[in-house]
A = this chain, B = another copy of it.
Amino acid sequence: MVDVAQLAGVSSITVSRTLLTPELVTPATRRMVEKAIKQCGYIPNRVAGSLAANRSRTVAVIVPTISNSLFADTVQGITDLLEAHGYHVFLGTSNYDIKEEESLVSAFLERRADAMVLTGISHSPTTKKLLRNAGIPVVEMWNLTPRPIDMAIGFSNFEAARKMTLFLASRGYRKIGFLGGVTENNDRTRDRERGYLAALAELGIAAVENRIVRTPFDFPMGGTAIAALLSKSPSLDAVFAASDVLAIGAILECNRRGWPVPSKIAIAGMDDSPLGSQLSPKLTTVRIPRYGIGTVVGEHLIERLRGQASSKRIVDLGFEIVEREST
């Protein structure tokens, strides 16, 4: 930077200002400096800048996985908004493990991220403590809680599952099974299971443990799980899967076995992944504002990073049941 300054015949602080606050520099000077920067091939050192300014212009986002494209839209939404405001988004994946999440949070805090976005509301006590002490904006997304660390932006996974179960009942299905995720450390899938059970209770249908299967989220497991479910409870007339991945795997397994969907067994999913509408039969599911969560998270962070008190600490973005052919 000193080289650039000399070449442009100004002091280094003017170079710094040309980069950070060009409106404070006379256009003529600015052009000189910009020319010198190009000539030197100067690449600003943001590590030094972050240290001096005590801010990194960096926001960390932690999602459980990127193997499943579920969170990709949300990350895109966050990125689109924040990059437009000069922030850089760093992505980490926790593999649905709160210990891994904790170590990511530490890593990002050590690198002085200006804000942090987590997926879900289940975190280790250490994670929560670290974030409360960090004094930076924190968003928990994809689920709601009355007592967020700082902000919660998402939708009620409980209500979504409850409504879908009630919807299945309204279509005449009574023996409704549940294909759930592994609930440990996954509050979204846990709330979805709770929603399913709550709906059954409202309907006066007894919950039966062997109508429930819990399995990791991947396509083959969806197939395995529905086969297991129907062999345990052959009289089921519908299955609600806590994730489209499982629902799709289940439909494909039914196709392979020649079981007609929905006449033998109705299948509903959740998340509205793009593949669902391509299957035969097309998948009934719950649409979630995946990209919207991202943009709203971004907007709130920008507000807070500008020092404004955020308008709302808890934002419910809702969901929508999409009835297609599989129910």
Contacts and interface: CB of A to CB of B under 8 A. Distances in A.
Contacts of A220: 274, 277-278
Interface in A229-287: 249, 252-253, 255-256, 274-275, 277-280
Contacts of A304: none
Given A219-B274, A252-B279, A252-B280, 8 more contacts: A47-B56, A48-B51, A66-B69, A67-B69, A76-B93, A90-B90, A249-B278, A253-B278
Contacts of A106: 43
A73 B69 contact: no
A218 interface: yes
Interface of A: 41, 43-48, 50-51, 56, 58, 65-69, 72-73, 75-76, 79, 88, 90-91, 93, 106-107, 109-112, 130, 133-134, 218-220, 223, 249, 252-253, 255-256, 274-275, 277-280
A46 B111 contact: yes
Given A66-B69, A278-B219, A47 B112 contact: yes
A215 to B, nearest CB: 14
Contacts of A252: 278-280
Contacts of A275: 219, 275
A118 to B, nearest CB: 17
B51 A47 contact: yes
21 contacts: A43-B109, A43-B110, A43-B134, A45-B51, A47-B50, A47-B111, A47-B112, A51-B51, A65-B72, A66-B66, A68-B69, A91-B91, A219-B274, A219-B275, A219-B278, A220-B277, A220-B278, A223-B278, A252-B278, A252-B279, A255-B280
B45 A112 contact: yes
A109 to B, nearest CB: 5
A75 to B, nearest CB: 7
Contacts of A107: 88
A68 B74 CA distance: 14
Nearest to A69: B67
A46 B219 contact: no
A219 to B, nearest CB: 5
Nearest to A110: B46
Contacts of A56: 47
Query: Which 3 pairs show the lowest CB-CB distances between chains A and B?
Result: A67-B72, A46-B110, A66-B66
A109 B44 CA distance: 9
A45 B48 CA distance: 12
A256 B274 contact: no
Contacts of A111: 46-47, 58, 88
A244 to B, nearest CB: 12
Contacts of A93: 76, 79
A44 B110 contact: yes
